[in-house]
Structure 1
Amino acid sequence: MTARSLGSVLPGARDRLLAHYGPGAGEWLDAAPQLLEEAAERWKLTLRGYYDAGHSSVVAVARDSQDTPVLLKAWYESSRYRDEVTALRLWGGGPTADVIESADDLSVASMELVGGRPGGTARPEREVQMVAAVIQGLHAVGAKQGRPALPRLGDHLQHTVLPRVARRVVTLDLGRREWLVREAMPELQALRESPARTTVLHADLYRENVIFDARRNARLIDPHPMVGDAVYDWAFWSVYYDLGQATFHRMAIASRISRIPVPEISAWCRAVALDGLLYYTEIGDEAQELAADVLVALMASGLEG
């Protein structure tokens, strides 16, 4: 397959981006193949085909002039492109995927293909402990970066999370879960960051965003980066890395390696679980049941922040 014959975006990717961004993304999705093909021609890459993954970008696999496989990624949002490329370059050489080339005019980047194939290699047995160590290492690097040009967690909470939670509480039919949401609301409103823990956050630590290279080392991909308190990443990872499974186990590992007290992590876990529960409820996702169960367990744990 040449740089000029990639073809239409795969239906799965198209559906995910339309669900995430709305019908306004349709025109961009029609143009995305040409953006990838232009980038491939610019960087002398040969396109091999799409990789059907992600909710904010269209991804393809290509090979360079040395026949090395690389990933090409085109973002719908130029701000998301800039933030992700900025963060990955700040973490360059660390446990992430390296950016090889980037094109600001296209919002396209070529990136290291971790493990030589989409999705990386098989996961090791001690996956959770290895991932926790990598998150801590990423935070250590991020803490040394001064004030990079990335969004702030505090702004995200104040201007995005709190308003959308308030809107959903008013507009959604919460039914039997209304009491749970009402009980958890003060947890979100009471969150306070610790400046001493400020770092560059990955902020999207779902399991699919952690893959393994040929040496079975964990690599963090697809960040939604922000600058803020490291506790946010630990809470997000504890809740969403495997929603509904081993939440308190991950929380204990997070506390042990980060030295953030479990009650502090738990308070942030309750907040991110509430936000997720309302999101899943709004879109009618079955994950709302798991998110509700997690939030109930967190509220009943007695771990006060």
Structure 2
Amino acid sequence: MITHYGPEVQAWLDAAPGLLEQAAERWELSLSGYHDAGHASVIALATSSDGRPLLLKAWADPVRYRHEISALQLWAGGPTADMVEVANDLGVAALELVGGCPGGADRPAREMQMVAVALHGLHTLGRRRNRPTGFPLLADHLRTEMLPRIEQRIRTVRLGVWRPLFDAANPSLADLKEDAGRTTVLHADLYRENVPFDWMGLPRLLDPLPMVGDAVFDWAFWTVYYDLGHGTDRRLATAARISRIPVPVLAPWCRALAVDGLLFYIESRDPRAQRMSEVLSSLSPSIPRRDS
């Protein structure tokens, strides 16, 4: 979290155990220890007075807290974790512990298809229900964050043997046109660890970074990042079938996200760079395709 927010977050980290303890006392929960600490929150395991297993989550960033809570409230009753309690003054929420344990229950054989159906359901709720105001916009994310950092890294990162990949994929950046008819509330952080399964074998989508924009972004993110380097082509086909967004529309968004990720991995010397380069190659028609 210090790497993500800077040294100024240390004061909040020092206070976080006390915030969780206050929330547990207020809601009559028994804390049983920390689960993990990500780059934006601290999570503890807890049990309610009637024995229900829960997660207590404390956010370092009040804005991120408000957005995530608002998204979970919007999606209530859908394929997300139930929100049991909220303490706005503490920036802490009690959430259902999906599957009764960290990581959820066992994943079914039809995991990919079931997650795709759940994501489609999430997008449907985001379109049909009245959205709270204040969510970030995908258009702003593209214009002020993602595209500028791609351009900056293209100029400054040593691309080496990967240069042809970027030359082939770069035209996709000009093809990122949103369709207003697909506008919804996006999850925007669809890594596999954010999609545990419950006791009934159903996926629950957790830890969103909600934005409002074209659903194509979520489908592209899921295609590229859900299980990096494994099943990319099958996810792309599944995304097109379930979302009814044609592959030629999805593909430029997939390539743009893969370009962004590969540049970051190269710059940070992350070993996932090779895997991402293979994903990008499989998504780039002018590069010989390899199974990903």
Calculate the TM-score normalised by the size of structure 2: 0.93
Structure-2 separation of matches of 1:166 and 1:78: 30
Structure-1 separation of matches of 2:169 and 2:200: 42
Structure-1 separation of matches of 2:9 and 2:174: 33
1:32 counterpart (10, 16, 20)? 16
1:99 counterpart (83, 92, 98)? 83
Is 2:40 the partner of 1:77? Answer: no
Q: Alignment partner of 1:65: what SS?
A: coil
Deviations 1:187-210 (A, max 9, x none): 123311000011111111111111
Contact 2:115 2:203 in 1 (8 A): yes
Is 2:256 the partner of 1:271? Answer: yes
Q: Alignment partner of 1:32: what SS?
A: helix
Is 2:218 the partner of 1:233? Answer: yes
Contact 2:262 2:273 in 1 (8 A): yes
Contact 1:162 1:189 in 2 (8 A): no
* Structure 1 residue 72, shift from structure 2 partner: 0.3
Q: Alignment partner of 2:128: what SS?
A: coil
Calculate the TM-score normalised by the size of structure 1: 0.89
Q: How many corresponding residue pairs?
A: 286
Q: Within 5 Å, which residues of 2 pair with 1:204-223?
A: 204-223=189-208
Contact 1:236 1:272 in 2 (8 A): yes
Alpha carbons of structure 1 residues 177 and 24: separation in structure 2 relative to 1, 3 Å: farther
Number of the residue aligned with 2:6: 22
Contact 2:31 2:46 in 1 (8 A): yes
Contact 2:187 2:211 in 1 (8 A): yes
CA RMSD between the two structures = 1.6
Comparing 263-272 with 277-286, greater Cα deviation is found at 277-286
Return structure 1 stretches of 4+ with deviation > 4 angstroms: none
Number of the residue aligned with 2:119: 135
Structure-2 separation of matches of 1:39 and 1:252: 44
Contact 2:169 2:255 in 1 (8 A): yes
Q: Alignment partner of 2:284: what SS?
A: helix
Number of the residue aligned with 2:228: 243
* Structure 1 residue 143, shift from structure 2 partner: 1.0
2:105 counterpart (118, 121, 124)? 121
% same residue? 57
Number of the residue aligned with 1:198: 183
Q: Alignment partner of 1:162: what SS?
A: helix
Is 2:35 the partner of 1:57? Answer: no
Contact 2:74 2:131 in 1 (8 A): no
Structure-2 separation of matches of 1:106 and 1:173: 44
Where structure 2 has 5 or more consecutive residues not aligned to the other structure, the ranges are 288-292
Q: Alignment partner of 2:254: what SS?
A: helix
Comparing 182-191 with 109-118, greater Cα deviation is found at 182-191
Alpha carbons of structure 1 residues 24 and 188: separation in structure 2 relative to 1, 3 Å: farther
The residue identity in structure 1 corresponding to 2:243 is: S
Contact 2:195 2:206 in 1 (8 A): yes
Structure-2 separation of matches of 1:31 and 1:184: 45
* Structure 1 residue 53, shift from structure 2 partner: 5.3
Which has the higher relative contact order, 1 or 2, with Cα contacts under 8 A spaced 6 or more apart?
2
